[in-house]
Structure 1
Amino acid sequence: MAPDGAGRGLGRHGRRLRVADVTLWYGERSGGIKSYLDAKRRHAAITGAYEHHIVVPGERDEERAGMHRIRGVRVTRNDYRIPPGGRGLCRTIERLRPDVLLLHDPFWTPRQAIAAAHRSGAIVIAVHHGSAALAAAGMPGPDAAWRPIFRSWMHHAYRDVDAIMSVIDPVPDSGRGADLPLRLGLDPAFRPQPDVRRGDHVLYAGRLSRAKGVGELLEATRRGDWTLQLVGDGPWRTALPAEIAALGLADRVTLGDYVSDPAELARRYAAASCVVMPGPNETFGLVGLEAAACGARVVTCDNAPSATTIGALGHTYSAGDVVGLQRAIDAARRAAPDAGAAAALAWRHGWTVLFHQELRDMVDLLERRERRRERAA
């Protein structure tokens, strides 16, 4: 049953509201965007609150049970793919005729996609997951050379959308403020783990790249006295063993595989003395929220939005301050777990609650558009 009946009958021709999410960044080893979309797909299927579609690149053109894949060329280890142009995306949008289209990145021919959605009668929401700083950090050469390029592109990509959804202020990157909050939640597996014994090691789980602050974490580990487990995949994975050895950390740092099972990841979080999310340009930081909900102590940069959400369960430091990172890890390892606060955090960030709120936001946008049309007529 849809919460309070929200969304029913609002779609065209008497059907349920039809919502489509579009992103390039949906691979087998993706992070927060995939978690959000998979949870949203399950929520729509269980509640029937709206008709949900996901449009992503794939190995071949394929449509099955609301998942629409458009053939693309594989470009990274995470199985990310880039389709040749936007024709397949636009055809899919025009065939689906969604009431609401959410674009989760500004890179997949956004102006073409927005035009196709508007021709089909949809409202378009740009979901601001990233930032120019984060994108620039992943490119070769000085970040300062890339940031203006990415900001210019985001201004271009977001110009004609009907609303921006974000957890941070998108004005520096897009020239427009956030119209809606981006709400990120938790898989039911991310709860306190009373049967898991807290260990002595430090854990990093996520994308293995310099942009995520892994280099600073290794340097802090060299200065500290703990063992470190790195779990994940990414562009730096093949070079990491040599980097670890060069820092004299071969006997204190282990490199583990990406963990896809939420229940297993929850146990990994709870078994660590603390979980570190050292990325200096996080636009939310879902790993920090997940780990805190499992009862782990968490270390983040003080500018990570999830640091505020985690509250007293987290320990912060200034981005780029390796000594500050070392001290924050030491403090987190000494701090006692707080299972009560972790359980309360997990409850507040359940996907069902958050998607109910998101649906109301989308309904409000549609109703405002209809009122504008009525006044214009």
Structure 2
Amino acid sequence: MRIVRLANYVGPRSGGMRTALRELGAGYLAAGHEPVLVVPGRLRGRGDEQTAQGRVITRYGPVVPFTGGYRALLARRGLAALLTELRPDLIEVSDRTTLRWTGRWAREHGVPAVMVSHESLTGLLSLPADVSGMSRWRSRLLANMGKALADAFNRRSVRAYQRIVCTTRWAAAEFERIGAPNLTRIPLGVDLELFSPERYSCTTRDAYAGQEQTLLVHCGRLSVEKKPHRSLAAVAGLRAAGVDAVLVVAGDGPLRTRLERAARRRSLPVRFAGFITDPKHLATLLASADVVVAPGPVETFGLAALEALACGTPVVVSAASALPEVIGTAGVAVDGEDFAGGVRAVLARDPEARRGAARTRAEEFGWPASVAAFLAVHEALNPDSSRSPGQVKP
């Protein structure tokens, strides 16, 4: 089966989305299918290469303002021609914005289409209502407007695609609210060999923290929806409470300069490591930390948090997000802003017990199971999937 996958906001420095696409593509390829991924790039023209996740085609996409360099595919006519040329047996779309039209294209050409919801429109549209100092009635009004707009967009997606795949119950809730009949929930996975407690390194730990210090890591994009300022506030709160904590920020994004200024202004011991390109280096950092902080309130899964658990490191997360159902009891979920309190609650647990619980929880999420579940959805929509890829043409 030729599975043509389309995605926006995927670049050399993107995190969870890029990981999920890579792992699913590699799994499809290993299962004997032909995955083709189409993503935006900075160069005009067309890149086309064979990779470990299958064929990857790059088409020019302009930078989306205020995203820190993310790009989106906009050339609808060219993409439609590309889809016709590729002759997909199934389309898998990881985008809620400029690629939503592909569901209608697929229906018109008799091609099954699946949309993977990697973000919550309700959550993202609620962010303007979550502003300190805003009156309660105005916050409620904006939240209700955001929910109504999300419902309208989601109804259109439900009609356009034959299946909607969400990765958690939290992510699926906005589709359940509108009674979507074509909803499937499939958790993502983690590389349990790469992300392992065996990655712990005294050398790495000593590079970031003293022997008696508590090492925190914030791993994620430095953008508004991720709420990275909460991690800085956690360090400040811990130190005010007498905990000698330091923070490493692994990630980059449009808020980095502002966060660096804030850390300097408050004399906080924060190291900004930037985007870590080497996955082994990232795994070593996560394994060597005492606690990882994942404060984003609109996370629909949180791969970085799961990778931390796989490394044996407990995670403190936002109770407003999907992360509590991912981490289970292998961490702490925080209502509101007191992430310092969440870290203290984790540190109060026996070190060996909390690290063992983290790894045990992560072992419930493997990529093979996730790939198999995605393929089960695809094959159900395309019962004749045993035929040669592209044999039936739209």
2:325 aligned with 1:308, yes or no? yes
Deviation, 1:146, is 4.8
For residues 183-239 of structure 1, the C-alpha deviation after alignment (integer angstroms, 9 at most, x for no partner) is 211133112226434662111010112321212232232221222221101110122
Q: Which residue of 1 aligns with 2:117?
A: 128
The structure 2 residue matched to 1:52, chosen from 8, 31, 35, is 35
What's 1:273 paired with? 290
1:183 and 1:49 map into 2 onto residues whose CA distance is 22
In structure 2, the CA distance between the partners of 1:172 and 1:350, relative to structure 1 (3 Å rule), is: closer
- Taking a change above 3 Å as real, the CA distance of residues 241 and 366 of structure 1, as seen in their structure-2 partners, is same
Q: What is the alpha-carbon distance in structure 1 between the residues aligned to residue 252 and residue 177 of structure 2?
A: 28
In the alignment, does 2:198 pair up with 1:184?
no
Alignment pair present for 1:206 and 2:211: no
Tell me, in whole angstroms, the C-alpha distance in 2 between the residues paired with 1:227 and 1:196. 17
* Structure 1: gaps spanning 5 or more residues: 1-16, 370-377
Secondary structure of 2:18's partner?
A: helix
1:102-137, Cα deviation, whole Å (9 max, x unpaired): 1111212412x1232223331111111111244336
Identify which range, 165-174 or 225-234, moves more after superposition. 165-174
Question: Distance in 1 between the 2:127 and 2:275 partners?
Answer: 20
> Which residue is equivalent to 1:42?
26
Structure 1 residues 18-27 or 359-368, which shifts more?
A: 359-368
- RMSD, aligned α-carbons: 2.7
Partner letter of residue 346 of structure 2? A
TM-score normalized by the length of structure 2: 0.79
Alignment of 1:198-237 (within 5 A): 200-225=214-239, 226-237=245-256
SS at match of 2:124: helix
Match of 2:94 in 1: 104
* CA 88–174 in structure 1, closer or farther in 2 if over 3 Å, else same: farther
Gaps of 5+ in 2: 132-138, 240-244, 386-394
Secondary structure in 2 matching 1:74 = coil
Give the percent of matched residue pairs that are identical in Structure 1 and Structure 2. Answer: 27
Equivalent position amino acid for 2:118 in 1: H
Aligned residue in 2 for 1:20: 4
Work out the CA distance in 2 between the residues paired with 1:343 and 1:251.
Answer: 30
Q: Match for residue 201 of structure 2?
A: 196
Matches within 5 A, 1:1-377: 17-45=1-29, 47-59=30-42, 60=44, 61-65=46-50, 66-75=55-64, 79-111=69-101, 113-136=102-125, 144=143, 146-166=146-166, 167=168, 168=171, 169-171=173-175, 176=180, 179-187=183-191, 188-193=193-198, 195-197=200-202, 200-225=214-239, 226-246=245-265, 248=266, 250-318=267-335, 321-323=336-338, 325-335=339-349, 336-338=351-353, 340-367=356-383
TM-score, with normalisation over the residues of structure 1? 0.82
- Change over 3 Å in CA distance of 1:291–1:241 after alignment to 2: same
Contact preservation (8 Å) 2:263, 2:269: no
Query: For residues 7 and 151 of structure 2, what CA distance do their matches in structure 1 show?
Result: 19
With over 3 angstroms needed to count, the CA separation of the structure-2 counterparts of 1:337 and 1:262, relative to structure 1, is farther
Displacement over 6 Å in runs of 4+ = 138-142
Paired with 1:311 and 1:152, the residues of 2 have a C-alpha distance of: 32
Q: 1:88 to 1:154 in 2, by over 3 A?
A: farther
Aligned partner of residue 91 in structure 2, secondary structure: strand
Aligned residues of 2:93 and 2:99 also touching (Cα < 8 A): no
